[in-house]
Amino acid sequence: MTPLSNPAAGLAVLAADQKSQDVTDWAARIGWVVGLLLVIGLVYWLMREGWKWRGTLQGDLPELPQAPAEPGEPILTMTGRYHGSTTAGQWLDRIVARGLGTRSRVELTLTDEGVNVVRPGAQDFFIPADSVRGARLDKGIAGKVLAEGGLLIITWRLGDREIDSGFRSDHAAEHAAWVDALAVKNTEHNQEGAR
């Protein structure tokens, strides 16, 4: 009797010829996983060292100003996110010294004395009114790109360096009011300085 005349016998012959799947080589698989984890760890370590090196290069940056004891009456307030600071006009040159590279929640308060920047979990700082050089709406700052006009950028002077600091309000409609108010403050300061 041939396998073709008896279908059951044909299936038995085919079943006997098939082999099961090879057993996984666990040593090789574990080796690949450990190697991948080492590469990821190395990349993370290099990024961390680069961040520290950038902070060392920017070590000449003076201490951040702190809010005066009497900051005055609030003109505008805003809650949102602080996205970082860069060298003015160079949106990819991130400043990490003095904690300016740390992203965080933020509460901004504009007074006659300047802008108080309160950052829970990060170092607070104050931008004196005479240090403000301007404000604008922009779409990006180092590490963060949004829709056009999605960021409030305040340009200010710290020591001999001009800095752009990027903020995003929880309510984007507030940005225009901040740009207008800071432009008025900057104009008032420039007129006082010209006297």
Question: Does residue 150 register a pLDDT over 90?
Answer: no
Q: Would you put residue 53 in left (φ > 0), alpha (ψ -120 to 50) or beta?
A: alpha
Question: Does residue 170 register a pLDDT over 80?
Answer: yes
The answer to whether 166 and 83 are in contact (CB under 8 A) is yes
Q: Which amino acid is residue 178, in one-letter code?
A: W
Q: Choose among 108, 128, 129: nearest CA to 171.
A: 108
Quickly state the pLDDT bin for 155 (edges 50, 70, 90). Answer: very high
Looking at the structure, tell me whether residues 95 and 180 fall in a common domain.
yes
Question: What is the reported pTM?
Answer: 0.72
Looking at the structure, tell me whether residues 118 and 162 fall in a common domain.
yes
Eight-state DSSP code of residue 69: S
Quickly state the pLDDT bin for 186 (edges 50, 70, 90). Answer: low
Quickly state the pLDDT bin for 195 (edges 50, 70, 90). Answer: very low
Quickly state the pLDDT bin for 81 (edges 50, 70, 90). Answer: very high
Mean pLDDT of the chain: 85
118 domain-assigned:
yes
pLDDT in tens, 90-125: 888 889 888 898 899 999 999 999 999 999 989 999
* Domain total in the chain: 2
Q: What is the pLDDT of residue 194?
A: 46
Question: Does residue 64 register a pLDDT over 80?
Answer: yes
Q: What is the pLDDT of residue 17?
A: 61
- Reading the block at residue 120, the tokens are 């829970």
- CATH number where 123 lies: 2.30.29.30
Report the alpha-carbon distance of residue 99 to residue 66 in Å, rounded.
13
Looking at the structure, tell me whether residues 102 and 181 fall in a common domain.
yes
Report the alpha-carbon distance of residue 120 to residue 123 in Å, rounded.
8
Question: Does residue 152 register a pLDDT over 60?
Answer: yes
Question: Does residue 185 register a pLDDT over 90?
Answer: no
- Reading the block at residue 173, the tokens are 């409609």
Q: Which amino acid is residue 42, in one-letter code?
A: L
What average pLDDT does range 159-177 have in this prediction?
92
Quickly state the pLDDT bin for 190 (edges 50, 70, 90). Answer: low
What average pLDDT does range 16-39 have in this prediction?
82
**What is the residue range of 109's domain?**
76-194
Looking at the structure, tell me whether residues 91 and 174 fall in a common domain.
yes
